[in-house]
Structure 1
């Protein structure tokens, strides 16, 4: 594939699927700057992976796989991107959702960001409506393992929401 063809495919993929990269960056990046860096890293990896795409799955599935693998590698290699960092420049939140944000959506994204890497990835894929089979292909887990983990995630989130409602938070 020529560089011009790769650029054309990349532009099409990015136009159609950049929301995937935004979601992954939002969950794996601790600060606005982290999310911008991670978005660029994932986009670069998508560009590099175009030649490896064989069409045996949906483009969105492929992009999710590349984005999640990139985010996991980025998270491991950047120790400074640990949990608990504060975003001191929230006013420039380019990667945030539009102004009319649903507090329930903010709550779920905050809880997803607290999960371990695999469960974080599963939660994102679940929210985007991927089947257990697709999730297993993306993450390299068995379908039954995906189902068990999803059920545990749902139960934990439900319990946490109940505790917060009981405590009046």
Structure 2
């Protein structure tokens, strides 16, 4: 594959699937600086993966697999690096009002998703994007039945948390 063709594919994938990548970034990174770092890391991995894409799966499935695997590795690396250290970025949101007023329920949902372990977090993102159990199984390397059990438990957990959230909002 020529570099020119690889660049064309890369630009096309980023243009068409940026939202998918940002969704993963938002679920795994929590400060603006970390969002940038993780997105850059995912973009690098997408670039490197293009020659290996054999079209055996949908591009979205391929990109999700790359993004989730990269995010999980990045999280492990960042956790080791940041253990015992607080960054100014961790408190930046306290000093600045958000530029866009998003639905607070969406912020709440992403906050809850961020508290899940890495596999449950990945499953939740895939579920929210409408992937089938079979597709999730392929992306994450888990059995279809295991995906089903985990989704049932995740939904039950989030519903329980949402009931508490709603009671506090009233």
TM norm. shorter chain > 0.5: yes
Count of residues in Structure 1 that have an aligned counterpart in Structure 2: 164
Q: Distance in 1 between matches of 2:15 and 2:101?
A: 23
The aligned residue for residue 159 of structure 1 is: 160
* TM-fit CA distance, 1:81: 5.5
Distance in 2 between the 1:56 and 1:81 partners?
Answer: 38
Deviation at 1:167? 4.4
Structure 2 residue aligned with 1:107: 108
Partners in 2 of 1:38 and 1:65 — Cα distance?
15
Distance 2:71 2:145 in 1: 24
The answer as to 2:69 corresponding to 1:88 is no
Shift of 1:106: 1.2
Contact 1:25–1:38, Cα closer than 8 Å, also in 2: yes
What is the CA–CA distance in structure 2 between the aligned matches of 1:75 and 1:103, rounded to whole Å? 25
Give the corresponding residue for 2:148: 147
More helix by share: 2
Aligned pair 1:120/2:128, yes or no? no
CA positional deviation for 1:87: 3.4
Give me the TM-score of the superposition, normalised by structure 2.
0.88
2: CA distance, partners of 1:64 / 1:143: 17
* Inter-CA distance 81–139: structure 2 relative to 1 (3 Å threshold): farther
Post-superposition CA distance 1:71-103 (Å, at most 9, x none) = 011111122457x9763334597xxxx824122
Matches within 5 A, 1:67-82: 67-79=67-79, 80=81
Aligned to 2:55: 55
Instruction: Give the distance between the partners of 1:76 and 1:143, measured in 2 at CA.
Output: 26
Per-residue deviation, 1:104: 1.7
RMSD: 2.1
Once residues 109 and 81 of structure 1 are traced to their aligned partners in structure 2, the CA distance between those partners, rounded to angstroms, is: 22
Alignment gaps of 5+ in structure 2? none
TM norm structure 1: 0.89
- Aligned pair 1:131/2:117, yes or no? no
Structure 1, unmatched stretches of 5+, are none
SS state at 1:35 partner: helix
